[in-house]
């Protein structure tokens, strides 16, 4: 990699190790004191314009080498190179601290708060070190992702959360945790003057399910495929694909070509249904229910098709490490072609209807603007980034599955408003249809699943996919006996959601639901991490501890 | 006397029982446009019935919160009673045109009372929007009816449609009236004060059970009153040339035509609603202001006698 020499010249001795993990992944181990300098060096590198912070992983490596570690994963996008760089530093077990990157790059905000919550690794100089992931009533100094914490524990603390003080002269307008415009719980605390939004605070992570902890504690590689797919109810397949790719890279498993094509087709079908779903929701939020109904009617064709192809409308469950579980029969290929034909004609009409509905366009235009500079600072991805002029797409910049063989465009708009995001998604639907058509034509024959035996332990690797909402990054550190030692899933919304307060400021509470929805947020994706948090009234009567024990016992039986 | 009683009975049926049916039809039309089967056209009756049978949950002890739905209901009823049903006008006196505008405003005041009587940023936002909307659209309605009054030299709503003469300004007045009625009726894209996905139905957010049922019913009656005004202004001037309205059969025939036109207009509104998104309050006010200024020009034309 050409920039490594430059890096060595700049930081010299303090770079401890550089090693290549996969064909496009490098891991650079540095001294913990210069960690933030190296990260910022890459993020602000003048030649890598679309470099972004893809994920950050904190690991409790005390059982292995008596230390904690953090890795910042950066992706180099755009026309630069197909490169992922991990920058790793080891932190002493008795005093795990490192210098925060957030003051230099906003996008690191959530990541650093998360390692602080879950592992007790402290980012020094973080501007907003409040709790992010753990529930309000979780006791302090209990860190669930440390290896000495058992996954069935559920300690009880006092309920408290330090919300920001409202700015002077404003009142609090809470959107959520339950609100008709939010499909999942999230809490946006708007500070408003009349209808104008002055500022916004966010509290989320209400739907933790402990997926990472469970994966590390009691599942095998193949079982994780299925729980990874359940990270999201809408774009689950890209999660399981990203996970599989990570494990396949770690185990150097050669995936049969036919499986790659089947994955590609399913990924694009998933994108079709997800974008149509989003269009419907956007219409509904502006009161345009006709658009809503028609978008979802078209989506239904895709759902039916997926049911025929995989047995499920959603959560297809066909991914395994090494390939896929189900083959496409020939007559089902024709079904795909039929659905695409129907979609092509009816989707064109729907788009015409939408763009000719003046009131709808008026609500979307010039609303929720996220300028390019902010988009870069927050490291936003997917249609949100592309609507703000960030020209990157994992499918094109880091080809996976069969995307390297296929031809497609990546739409980019500069306006950065809700309308630009809508247009990006509309164009992506056309591209998806085109991608599926090509993949069907070129679908090779042969096997669909590669066998694998032992995967060497303690290899670190990431798998990435372009979900309908943006970049998904799954980090896997393999462990002994075909289990994972550390698993970290990062959904697209994790990078997009922190930027929402910046998009809301200056607009009105009438725009708020549409702006929030315009990033196509997926809260359960973002909030996959922790232990079960039970808060409903019923449970209180049962006593939480008992309930937790009961539910864990019940799930063990499965 | 007998004739009066018949008309009075029909009128009461129209005012109280027709609005939910119209809403049901509107819902059905929208469902068809959206390729849905849709609920039965009687669904709104069922909804109201179940709401009215339910005990409300009160978020506040304030009396204002509890009586607001009844004020709204009374205002909507009062507005409807001033309108001509065939030849029969339940309540008529000179100057009732002003009363009509007043009671309509009263309805909005009731909504505002409802919204401001609880400490909730959603209901407050809804009440605020209702206020802004009503302040921007009542003048348009006033100007539109004013042009008619000027034309007919009458200040009574029952009298105006029987005395108008055809002039160019009158056509513009019809356009203004249609716009004002549509906006004031709170149809999409002007359902801003009760926007569900934005502010959880605004002033109605804290209401439940019987009180919510009363509010919903009152809103439907208000819509009927507004549309009936437009329909009467449209139908009566034509019918009076065809048939003698003052006779019993003439009156009944006119009433029948009014009803038919009402159904047609309600269906057209459903189509407009289905093909629009909701406007933001500032956009709606800007548009209403422009229409109001145009209305003043129309008033000037009418004053000049064209």
Taking an 8 Å cut-off on Cβ atoms, the answer to whether B121 and A171 are in contact is yes
Instruction: Say if residue A109's pLDDT is above 50.
Output: yes
C-alpha distances out from residue B5 to A30, B9, B10, B90, Å: 95, 6, 9, 11
CB-CB neighbours of A164 under 10 Å: 13
For B164, the domain range is: 2-303
Binned at pLDDT 50, 70 and 90, residue A8 comes out as confident
Taking an 8 Å cut-off on Cβ atoms, the answer to whether B198 and A179 are in contact is no
Compute the CA torsion angle B273, B275, B280, B286 (nearest 10 deg): -90
Q: Who's near A17: CB < 8 A, 6+ residues apart?
A: A27, A28, A29
Q: Indicate if A82 and A222 belong to the same structural domain.
A: no
3-state DSSP assignment of residue A67: strand
Query: What is the rounded radius of gyration, in angstroms, for the C-alpha atoms of chain B?
Result: 19
Binned at pLDDT 50, 70 and 90, residue A543 comes out as low
pLDDT for residue A556: 54
With beta carbons less than 8 A apart as the criterion, state whether B177 and B145 touch: yes
Q: Write down which residue in A85, A114, A129 finishes a domain.
A: A129
B200, B278, B283 member nearest A180 (Cβ) = B200
With beta carbons less than 8 A apart as the criterion, state whether A425 and A281 touch: no
A288 touching chain B per CB within 8 A:
yes
C-alpha distances out from residue A1 to A41, A52, A71, B251, Å: 16, 18, 19, 92
Binned at pLDDT 50, 70 and 90, residue A9 comes out as confident
A45 touching chain B per CB within 8 A:
no
In a domain, A216, yes or no: yes
With beta carbons less than 8 A apart as the criterion, state whether B237 and B152 touch: no
For A43, the domain range is: 3-129
Q: Indicate if A219 and A121 belong to the same structural domain.
A: no
Domain harbouring A119, CATH code = 3.30.460.80
Q: Write down which residue in A109, A129, A149 finishes a domain.
A: A129
Q: A510: distance to nearest CA of chain B, Å?
A: 6
In a domain, A18, yes or no: yes
pLDDT for residue B247: 80
Average pLDDT over residues A50-75: 89
Residue of B191, B200, B199 whose CA lies nearest to B219: B191
Distance of CA A56 to the CA centre of its chain: 12
B120 touching chain A per CB within 8 A:
no
C-alpha distances out from residue B181 to A211, A269, B276, Å: 55, 46, 17
pLDDT for residue A34: 86
Q: What angle, 0 to 180 degrees and rounded to 10, lies between the N-to-C axes of helices B168-184 and B209-242? A: 160
Domain count, chain A: 2
B27 touching chain A per CB within 8 A:
no
Q: Is the peptide bond before A177 cis (omega within 30 degrees of 0)?
A: yes
Domain harbouring A319, CATH code = 1.10.645.10
Q: Indicate if A115 and A264 belong to the same structural domain.
A: no
Touching B: A residues 360-379, CB under 8 Å: 360, 362-363
A286, A290, A513 member nearest B34 (Cβ) = A290
pLDDT for residue A525: 66
With beta carbons less than 8 A apart as the criterion, state whether A237 and A267 touch: yes
A-chain CB neighbours of B199 within 8 Å are 509-510
Longest dimension (CA), chain B: 57
pLDDT for residue A530: 39
Return the residue in A295, A510, A513 with the most chain B beta carbons within 10 A, the one to mutate for interface testing.
Answer: A510
pLDDT in tens, A413-440: 988 899 999 999 999 999 999 999 999 9
Instruction: Say if residue A544's pLDDT is above 60.
Output: no
Distance of CA B138 to the CA centre of its chain: 12
Mean pLDDT of chain A: 85
B-chain CB neighbours of A181 within 8 Å are 197-198
Distance of CA B56 to the CA centre of its chain: 26
d(CA A129, CA A44): 24
- Interface contacts A/B by beta carbons within 8 Å: 85
Q: What is the pLDDT along chain B (306 residues), one digit of tens a residue?
A: 777 888 888 888 888 899 999 999 999 999 998 888 989 999 999 999 999 998 888 888 888 888 999 999 999 999 898 888 877 777 777 778 888 888 888 898 998 888 888 888 888 888 888 888 888 888 898 888 888 888 888 888 877 887 787 787 788 888 889 999 999 888 888 887 777 777 788 888 888 889 999 999 999 999 999 999 999 888 888 887 887 777 878 888 888 888 999 999 999 999 998 888 888 888 888 888 888 888 888 888 887 777
Return the residue in A189, A197, A283, A287 with the most chain B beta carbons within 10 A, the one to mutate for interface testing.
Answer: A287
Q: Indicate if A216 and A123 belong to the same structural domain.
A: no
Domain count, chain B: 1
Q: A487: distance to nearest CA of chain B, Å?
A: 37
Taking an 8 Å cut-off on Cβ atoms, the answer to whether B199 and A510 are in contact is yes
> In terms of DSSP H, where are the helices of B243-280?
248-274
pLDDT for residue A552: 57
pLDDT in tens, A216-238: 888 888 888 888 888 888 888 99
Residue of A261, A273, A339 whose CA lies nearest to A305: A339
DSSP string covering B120-176, please?
-HHHHHHHHHHHHHHHHHHHHHHHHHHHHHHHHT---TTTHHHH----HHHHHHHHH
> Which residues partner with A99 through β-bridges?
A124
Residue of A36, A138, A52, A28 whose CA lies nearest to A97: A36
Which region holds residue A140: left if phi is over 0, alpha if psi is between -120 and 50, else beta? beta
ipTM of the complex in this document:
0.79
B30, B274, B280 member nearest A363 (Cβ) = B280
In a domain, A347, yes or no: yes
Q: Write down which residue in A78, A100, A129 finishes a domain.
A: A129
Taking an 8 Å cut-off on Cβ atoms, the answer to whether A360 and B277 are in contact is yes
A545 touching chain B per CB within 8 A:
no
In a domain, A453, yes or no: yes
pLDDT for residue A535: 40
Return the residue in A197, A284, A359, A504 with the most chain B beta carbons within 10 A, the one to mutate for interface testing.
Answer: A359
Average pLDDT over residues A8-23: 82
In a domain, A172, yes or no: no
Residue of A327, A322, A420, A332 whose CA lies nearest to A371: A420
Q: Indicate if A215 and A124 belong to the same structural domain.
A: no
A194 touching chain B per CB within 8 A:
yes
B282 touching chain A per CB within 8 A:
yes
d(CA B269, CA B190): 12
A359 touching chain B per CB within 8 A:
yes
A173, A192, A287 member nearest B277 (Cβ) = A287
In a domain, A21, yes or no: yes
d(CA A439, CA A154): 47
Return the residue in A174, A283, A285, A290 with the most chain B beta carbons within 10 A, the one to mutate for interface testing.
Answer: A290
DSSP string covering A308-368, please?
HHHS-SS----EETTEES-PPPHHHHHHHHHHHHHHHHHHHHHHHHHHT-HHHHHHHTT-S
């Amino acid at each position: 990699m050409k920039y490594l020499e430059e890096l060595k010249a700049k930081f010299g001795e303090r770079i401890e190790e550089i090693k290549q993990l996969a064909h496009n992944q490098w891991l650079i181990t540095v001294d913990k004191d210069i960690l933030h300098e190296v990260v910022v060096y890459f993020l602000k590198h003048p030649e890598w314009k679309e470099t972004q912070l893809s994920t950050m992983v904190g690991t409790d490596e005390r059982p292995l080498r008596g230390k904690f570690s953090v890795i910042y994963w950066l992706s180099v996008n755009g026309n630069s190179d197909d490169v992922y760089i991990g920058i790793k530093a080891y932190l002493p077990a008795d005093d795990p601290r490192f210098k925060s990157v957030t003051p230099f790059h906003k996008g690191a905000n959530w990541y650093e708060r998360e390692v602080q919550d879950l592992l007790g690794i402290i980012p020094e100089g973080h501007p907003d070190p409040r709790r992010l992931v753990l529930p309000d009533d979780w006791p302090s100094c209990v860190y669930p992702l440390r290896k000495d914490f058992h996954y069935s524990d559920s300690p009880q603390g006092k309920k408290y959360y330090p919300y920001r003080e409202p700015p002077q002269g404003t009142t609090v307008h809470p959107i959520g945790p339950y609100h008709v415009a939010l499909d999942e719980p999230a809490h946006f605390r708007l500070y408003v003057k009349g209808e104008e939004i002055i500022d916004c605070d966010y509290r989320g992570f209400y739907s933790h399910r402990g997926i990472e902890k469970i994966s590390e504690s009691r599942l095998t590689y193949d079982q994780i495929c299925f729980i990874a797919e359940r990270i999201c109810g809408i774009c689950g397949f890209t999660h399981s694909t990203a996970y599989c790719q990570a494990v396949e890279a770690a185990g150097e498993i050669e995936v049969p070509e036919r499986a790659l094509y089947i994955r590609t087709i399913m990924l694009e079908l998933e994108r079709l249904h997800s974008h149509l779903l989003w269009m419907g929701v956007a219409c509904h939020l502006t009161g345009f229910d006709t658009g809503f109904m028609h978008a979802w009617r078209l989506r239904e064709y895709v759902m039916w098709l997926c049911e025929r192809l995989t047995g499920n409308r959603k959560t297809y469950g066909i991914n395994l490490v090494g390939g896929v579980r189900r083959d496409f029969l020939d007559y089902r290929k024709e079904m795909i072609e039929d659905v695409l034909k129907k979609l092509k004609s009816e989707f064109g009409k729907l788009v015409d209807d939408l763009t000719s509905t003046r009131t709808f366009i008026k609500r979307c235009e010039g609303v929720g603007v996220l300028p390019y500079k902010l988009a870069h600072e927050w490291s936003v991805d997917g249609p949100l980034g592309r609507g703000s002029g960030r020209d990157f797409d994992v499918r094109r910049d880091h080809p996976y599955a069969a995307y390297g063989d296929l031809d497609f465009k990546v739409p980019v708009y500069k306006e950065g408003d809700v309308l630009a995001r809508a247009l990006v998604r509309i164009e992506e639907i056309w591209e998806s249809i085109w991608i599926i058509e090509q993949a069907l034509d070129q679908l090779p024959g042969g096997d669909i699943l590669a066998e694998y035996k032992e995967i060497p332990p303690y290899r670190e690797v990431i798998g990435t996919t372009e979900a309908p909402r943006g970049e998904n990054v799954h980090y896997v550190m393999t462990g002994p006996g075909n289990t994972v030692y550390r698993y970290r899933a990062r959904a697209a919304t994790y990078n997009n959601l922190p930027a929402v307060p910046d998009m809301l400021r200056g607009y009105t509470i009438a725009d708020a639901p549409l702006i929030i929805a315009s990033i196509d947020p997926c809260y359960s994706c973002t909030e996959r991490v922790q232990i079960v948090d039970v808060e409903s009234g019923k449970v209180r009567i049962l006593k939480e501890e008992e309930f937790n024990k009961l539910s864990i016992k019940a799930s063990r039986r499965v | 006397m007998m004739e009066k009683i018949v008309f009075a009975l029909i009128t009461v049926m129209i005012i109280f029982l027709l609005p939910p049916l119209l809403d049901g039809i509107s819902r059905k039309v929208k469902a068809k446009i959206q390729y849905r089967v849709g609920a039965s056209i009687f669904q709104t009756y069922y909804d109201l019935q179940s709401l009215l049978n339910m005990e409300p949950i009160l978020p506040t002890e304030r009396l204002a919160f509890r009586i607001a739905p009844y004020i709204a209901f009374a205002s909507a009823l009062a507005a409807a009673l001033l309108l001509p049903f065939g030849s029969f006008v339940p309540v008529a006196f000179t100057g009732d045109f002003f009363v009509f505008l007043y009671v309509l405003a009263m309805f909005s005041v009731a909504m505002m009372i409802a919204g401001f009587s609880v400490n909730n940023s959603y209901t407050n936002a809804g009440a605020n929007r209702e206020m802004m909307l009503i302040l921007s659209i009542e003048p348009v309605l006033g100007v539109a009816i004013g042009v008619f009054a000027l034309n007919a030299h009458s200040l009574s709503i029952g009298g105006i449609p029987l005395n108008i003469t055809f002039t160019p300004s009158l056509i513009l007045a019809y356009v203004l009236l249609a716009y004002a009625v549509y906006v004031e009726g709170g149809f999409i894209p002007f359902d801003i004060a009760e926007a569900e996905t934005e502010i959880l139905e605004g002033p109605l957010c804290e209401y439940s059970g019987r009180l919510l049922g009363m509010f919903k019913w009152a809103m439907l009656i208000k819509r009927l009153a507004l549309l009936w005004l437009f329909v009467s202004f449209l139908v009566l001037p034509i019918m009076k040339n065809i048939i003698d309205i003052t006779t019993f059969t003439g009156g009944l025939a006119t009433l029948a035509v009014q009803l038919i036109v009402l159904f047609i207009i309600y269906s057209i509104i459903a189509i407009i609603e289905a093909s629009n998104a909701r406007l933001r309050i500032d956009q709606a006010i800007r548009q209403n202001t422009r229409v109001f200024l145009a209305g003043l020009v129309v008033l000037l034309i009418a004053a000049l006698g064209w």
